[in-house]
Amino acid sequence: MKLKSIILSSSLLFAACGSMQAQSTQVIAHRGFWKTAGSAQNSIAALVKADSIGCYGSEFDVWLTADNQLVVSHDATFKGVNMQKSTAAQCTAVKLDNGKQLPTLQQHLEKAKQLNTRLILELKEHKTPEQETCAVEGILKMAKDMGLKDRMEYITFSRHATKEFIRLVPAGTPVYYLEGDLTPQELKEWGCTGADYHFSVFKKHPEWIKECHDLGLKVNAWTVNDSKDMKWLISQGIDFIPPTNR
């Protein structure tokens, strides 16, 4: 389902639900808005297109390369190039499906400076904690130097990177953990902004949505494409939904 149709559906659902809580549900473009002409997953075009349709935020994935540079890509190995084992020059030589070169984080953020959407940065799990700490430090320095620190939100499956973001981000910067294996109380104790879990986790633990809100935590359920699941999550007052653009 295309994101535009999801947003349209969501608007209709908001009107139908009619509650203030349901109206607060926001759409995040997962890997940008890419299932559309001229776009590609994690491309700069996907960021621009997500911004153009008024998404709350545009999500993208970041790796630290072998020469300690930051590049935007989802897969550990993309089109035969392993992001962690290759230099930035090797990674950015890869062509995305829209014919553009794989972007560096610097290039992604340079374009973002001209836009308004929030920047939902996922740091991928790396082979060592040292790599993740180096990535976190580099990301936060770049966001600060580029004047974007107030538009950034950080997400990761890595427990180490989650703790490093929480330790190092400017006060008030959202940090979410993705794995789905911490309770709302544990997330609160860690200092997370909220739960950013696969929607099946909330199907299994529907009480976690209210528990999060009662603790002052936000709730984000990722890659929801089925309208039935989406309606259920919105009816539960979920804060963010990132569809997968299918």
Binding mask 47-76 for Mg ion (x = CB under 5 A): --------------x---------------
Please give the single-letter amino acid code of residue 46: A
The first and second tokens of residue 210, run together, are: 């209210």
User: Does position 164 bind Mg ion by CB under 5 A?
Assistant: no
Closest contact distance (angstroms) between CB of 225 and Mg ion is 15
Integer Cα distance of 30 and 195 in angstroms: 16
Distances (CA, A) of 112 to 8, 19, 49, 89, 109: 24, 33, 11, 22, 5
Residue with nearest beta carbon to Mg ion: 122
Stretch that binds Mg ion, among 93-101, 120-128, 167-175, 207-215 (CB under 5 A): 120-128
Q: Which residues are 4's β-sheet partners?
A: none
Q: What's the DSSP call for residue 124?
A: P
Beta strands in 159-226 (DSSP E): 175-177, 194-198, 218-222
Stretch that binds Mg ion, among 80-88, 115-123, 127-135, 211-219 (CB under 5 A): 115-123
Q: Which is nearer to Mg ion, 122 or 164 (CB)?
A: 122
SS3 state of residue 180: coil
Closest contact distance (angstroms) between CB of 98 and Mg ion is 18
Stretch that binds Mg ion, among 75-83, 88-96, 121-129, 193-201 (CB under 5 A): 121-129
Q: Which is nearer to Mg ion, 123 or 238 (CB)?
A: 123
Closest contact distance (angstroms) between CB of 165 and Mg ion is 15
- Residue 113: partners with Cβ closer than 8 Å, 6 or more residues away: 146, 147, 148
Residue from 64, 112, 122, 219 touching Mg ion (CB under 5 A): that is 122
Number of residues located near Mg ion, criterion CB under 5 A: 2
Integer Cα distance of 42 and 32 in angstroms: 6
Q: Which is nearer to Mg ion, 61 or 196 (CB)?
A: 61
- Residue 148: partners with Cβ closer than 8 Å, 6 or more residues away: 109, 112, 113, 119
Binding site for Mg ion (CB under 5 A): 61, 122
